[in-house]
Amino acid sequence: MIGEETGFDSKVSTLLQRCDQTFTKYFEEDSRSPQESKVEQFISLCNETEELKSKLEEEEVDNQRLALKLNSLDNELSSLLVNHIGSSITQECEYVESSTEILKEKTSNCLNEADVVRNSVDDLTYGDTYKNVLLKIKDSFTRKLSEHKIEKERLIVEIEEYDSNRLHLAPLLHQYSQIMAKTREIDRQVTQLMS
């Protein structure tokens, strides 16, 4: 019986040593306990994830504001061009509006994906899995945020081009109106001479 107890104690001691080695393998060693260090890393990654999500939401607001400005510019151009030169520019406006809708949809999908991943993370066990998943989320948000910024810059350039086109079209339409007025006056005079 005594020998069996000693063997059991030896097995327990060996098992504890293996647990300690496994624990050390998965967590960094520092002045704090490994679990505290890992929890702090996880909290830091969570904070970075929240910051990235906030930036994406801000980008969505900016894109919505740009979309409203594009709609406003489209309305102004439509009122200037009426039925004369508006066909091609109207198509360009529709293209920009379509691009804006696509950008808004991508932003919404990105935020939805972030919520799904964050909900999935809540169900995981603590360890390296947390760090790997959150790093992937962080990289994904960083990449998509960069894509949104590039698209935003493109939209700003197109808005500036529309502003420039509007300024150039205004005097042309004024000249056109003057020519039409003179044409009507000539028609009236010709009608008088013919009668």
Phi, psi (5° rounding) for residue 108? -65, -45
In a domain, 179, yes or no: yes
In a domain, 128, yes or no: yes
**Is the residue at 143 inside a domain?**
yes
Q: How many CB atoms lie within 10 A of CB 141?
A: 22
Q: Domain for residue 46, yes or no?
A: yes
Look up the pTM and report it: 0.31
Mean of pLDDT over the chain: 68
- 162: nearest Cα among 62, 86, 104, 83: 86
**8-44: pLDDT as tens digits:** 556 556 655 655 555 555 554 444 555 556 667 767 7
Residue for token digits 């520092």?
A: 30
pLDDT digits (tens, 9 = 90+) for 154-175: 877 877 777 777 777 777 777 7
For residues 114 and 67, the model is more confident at 67
- Domain assignment of residue 15, yes or no: no
Mean pLDDT for 114-124 is: 59
User: pLDDT at position 3, please?
Assistant: 43
User: Does any domain span residue 10?
Assistant: no
Helices 34-81 and 128-194: crossing angle, nearest 10°?
A: 10
User: 57 is in which domain, residue-wise?
Assistant: 34-188
- Would 17 be classed as within a structural domain? no
pLDDT above 60 for 7: no
CB 104 within 8 A of CB 88: no
pLDDT tens profile 63-113: 788 888 877 777 776 666 555 555 555 666 666 667 667 767 776 776 676
Domain count, the chain: 1
- How open is the CA angle 75-81-85, to the nearest 5 degrees? 130
Which position has the higher pLDDT, 82 or 140? 140
pLDDT number for residue 1:
42
5 found inside a domain = no
Supply the CATH number for residue 50's domain: 1.20.1270
Determine the average pLDDT of the residues in 139-165: 78
Other CB atoms within 10 A of residue 96 CB? 21
More confident residue, 193 or 81: 193
